[in-house]
Chains A and B, each alone.
Chain A
Amino acid sequence: MFLIFLTSGLFLGWTLGANDASNVFGSAVGSKMIKFKQAAIIASIFVILGAVLQGAGGSHTLGKLGSVDALGGAFTVALAAGVAVFWMTRLKLPVSTSQAVVGAIIGWNFFTHNPTDMSSLTKIVTTWISGPILGGIFAVLLFLLLQFILKRSKVHLIRLDGYIKFALLVVGAFGSYSLGANNIANVVGVFVPSAPNITLDFGFFALNGTQLLFLAGGVSIAIGILTYSKKVMMTVGNSLMKLNSETAIVVVLAHSLVLFVFSSQSLSSLFVNIGLPPIPMVPVSSSQAIVGAILGIGILKGGKNIQINVIGKIATGWIITPIIAGLISFFALFFMSNVFNLQVSQNPSKFVKGDVIVEKNIKDHIDLKSKVIENFDLKNVPETTVHLYKTAVIIVISILLIILIYQIFIIYKLKEKDKIDEQEVYIKKYNAQQVLLENELENTNAVKERLEKEIDSKEKEQKKIALSIIRKNEILSKLKAEIERIKSNPEGSLKFSDLNTLKVLILDNLNLEKERKSLDKYIKELNDSFFQNLERKYPGLTDNEKKLCSLLRLKLTSKEIASIQNISPKSVEVNRYRLRKKMNISKEDKLSKVIRKL
């Protein structure tokens, strides 16, 4: 039953581990100086050690403030603190587990009429203020010391980087130890009065009930660190302020010293021995100690980057958190007592219905009958209480389970969101690539169009030249005919007009060879890829056959080809037939079509 009630404390421990580990290792992990795995393992081990070995101090002070003497009360107080932290975090209000627990205990004090020890309260409130201030002072002193050492050490920057990594691990381990020692009181402090009186002997060491309680709390913090602190370290760890590695060491060490000072009983005893007042053992807010340290360094560096609203936020946290946690605690206790009849304290409370009746009966000396009935009712209460008690436990556990499932759902949702974001990035990349490809395609199309136009114009030019050759051949035929006519002239002598006619015909023909050559050149240029394809597909073709193919590609008739090649149309037909055979073209297929397809 004790373990079931302890779940609220363990939940508080889990949230503390998930959030506050980033104060110790956030800068180191966020800046990739240390791997998360390494940091998480060290933090988990040292948090547990700190909790078990040095966790008692803070619990005593919380006990003095209000000794929650019933298990149900402890459960409700821890749950109220947890809910306050959870709710205020959701509302993005500044919150600290330490202040929430103190507020919840004061709420319990109010509910159960336990007097709030004002000296303890003053002590606690003083440390809330002195914690960040002390953090700032430690940070300034450590920063100056580190600067002094670094200036004189002349260590190589790369080696210094190695030393800093090592120092970050050591300081982180110390910080985790101090976090466990100081903040374990927040997690399980209220359960200490109800801790089972057992001792576990491990042979070489033994743990009593309270230490076992601290061990459970420490383990819950460690689970929080291992399961959920990575995200916080990567985001919150860096958002507070971007620190360089030397400053990160100083800040973490200053924060750790603050937590250590307020949880070390031996240090306090040492103070007493040398005549100084004892150090109060109080759980201090880890986040506020860190902020104090950062502000200290900020002031030392000239105070340019100090954000006044951060100080305002801390002060608001000091006031709002205890009040909200106290109110939640009070109403939760009222609800637990009156609805579930859960015993929240050993003392009677006027806010519990049954207790009011008892007091009234005693004071007014009501008649025996009614007293008997009252006693009878009271006798019957445990049975009923047990029943409701069980129901209450089931309901509360169900609520906790629902919260747990809700948290898992939220984590799942966030992961889904991350996946969707990642997919969106991919889609954006894909779209960008598509646009790029489309542009490339457009460019290629434009080039293709240009080339096609070029081919078209060249084809036209070829045809023009081919036609010109045809025309010139006609001229030559005319010339031949003219000469024949002159030869057959019966007078047998040449006339001036005949010579003139011949001259005109010859002049027309003068450029024939030139144009034939330029046609060959054009054919070769235009059909470069065509010839390559032709050679690849029909390797045995002669040059004349290739030329015939290129002319057929221009859709020239046999007569026109004959004229260009200066052969008879019949020879062209014969050449075409041979070409068909060589190219193995069936009778059904048209030679020119096959060639054009190439």
Chain B
Amino acid sequence: MLNIFKTSKSVSLSIDEFFNKIDLGTLNFKKGVKNYIEDNNNEFEQNLKSISVLETEADVIQRKIENDFYLHSLMPNYASDILNLIESVDDIIDMSKDVLSQFDVETPHLPEAIKKDYIELVNVSAKSVENVIPAARIFFTQPDNVKDYIQKVLFYHRETNTLSTNIKRKIFQEFETLKLSEKLHLRYFALHIEQVSDVSKNVAQQLSSLVIKIKM
């Protein structure tokens, strides 16, 4: 009997810890891109290392949560939805790490005139994540309040899209000195950063439907 309380306490703590890892990962992602743009190579390396460690730790916690859910048949009616949500949240840190890793491997050349735009883009994209994680946290305690955060996530997602489109337009229309290959390269980096906010939007949508399900 006591096992029920012990397991549920342990799983709830694991979920909190998992979200902490994602939060830290997002901070590293934001700082990492900034450090790359500002040519702070050592700091960028440090950010990349940290996010890789955090991503591995998040994966371990995710597997533990999954295992506990199935083993102790926790929340049998919503288990699959909640585990899908956790997996989607994990996609955020996976995607963030991939973007930093691409910066490290491909070392794109960013013209001075567009650096500010990229910093702005990464900030807005990270903001969508910074809002979706509290939404996921609050879903487990006050599902009614999730919608407050969802609106913000959707707003920042739209903003990210607009900024990304502006950057792409700028690259192809204003930078005549750049080679087409360089333009395409820069375009892909705008797209990669934008994709982080796409994953956040996906998590937000899952949260919305879960709230409806749980309230039924």
Contact = CB atoms under 8 A, between A and B. Distances in A.
Given A154-B141, A156-B12, A158-B12, A31 B1 contact: no
Interface string A154-185: 11111101110110010000000000000000
Contacts of A156: 8, 12, 15, 140-141
Contact of A157 (B5, B140, B216): B140
Interface string A196-228: 000000000000000000000000000000000
B4 A33 contact: no
Interface residues of A, number: 18
Contacts of B9: 159, 162
Nearest to A34: B73
Interface of A: 31-33, 151, 154-159, 161-163, 165-166, 169, 244-245
Interface in B1-52: 1, 4-5, 7-9, 11-12, 15
B142 A161 contact: no
Contacts of A161: 8, 74-75
A333 B142 CA distance: 63
B140 A158 contact: yes
A157 B75 contact: yes
Which of B8, B12, B139, B143 has the most chain A CB atoms inside 10 A of its CB? B8
12 contacts: A32-B73, A32-B76, A33-B73, A154-B141, A157-B143, A159-B12, A161-B75, A162-B5, A162-B9, A165-B4, A166-B1, A244-B216
B177 interface: no
Nearest to B137: A156
Nearest to A153: B141
B8 A33 contact: no
Contacts of B76: 31-33
Contacts of A158: 8, 11-12, 15, 74-75, 140
B173 interface: no
B4 A162 contact: yes
Contacts of A245: 77
A157 B141 contact: yes
Contacts of B15: 156, 158
Interface in B64-82: 73-77
A312 B100 CA distance: 66
Given A157-B12, A157-B139, A157-B140, 5 more contacts: A31-B76, A31-B77, A157-B75, A158-B12, A162-B4
B77 A162 contact: no
Interface in B95-147: 139-144
Interface residues of B, number: 22
Contacts of A151: 144
Contacts of B12: 156-159
Given A154-B141, A154-B142, A166-B1, A159 B8 contact: yes
A49 B73 CA distance: 30
B141 A166 contact: no
A163 B9 CA distance: 11
Contacts of B4: 162, 165-166
A155 B5 contact: no
Give the residue among B4, B144, B214 with the most A Cβ atoms within 10 A: B4
Contacts of A169: 1
A245 B143 CA distance: 16
Given A155-B141, A157-B141, A158-B15, A166 B77 contact: no
A17 B142 CA distance: 40
A151 B141 CA distance: 9
A447 to B, nearest CB: 39
B8 A162 contact: yes
A244 B214 CA distance: 9
Given A155-B141, A158-B15, A166 B75 contact: no
Contacts of B77: 31, 244-245
Most buried by B among A161, A165, A244: A161
A169 B5 CA distance: 13
A146 to B, nearest CB: 14
A279 to B, nearest CB: 33
A158 B214 CA distance: 13
A157 B214 CA distance: 10
A107 to B, nearest CB: 46
A102 B144 CA distance: 49
A157 B9 CA distance: 10
A417 B77 CA distance: 29
Contacts of B143: 157
Nearest to A246: B214
Nearest to A33: B76
Residue of A151, A165, A244 ringed by the most chain B CB atoms within 10 A? A165
A33 B141 CA distance: 20
Counting chain B CB atoms within 10 Å of each CB, the highest count among A157, A163, A166, A245 belongs to A157
Residue of A33, A158, A244 with highest tally of chain B CB at under 10 A? A158
A154 B7 CA distance: 19
Contacts of B11: 158
Contacts of B74: 158, 161
B212 to A, nearest CB: 13
- 7 closest A-B pairs by beta carbon, nearest first, are A162-B8, A156-B12, A158-B12, A32-B76, A157-B140, A162-B4, A161-B75
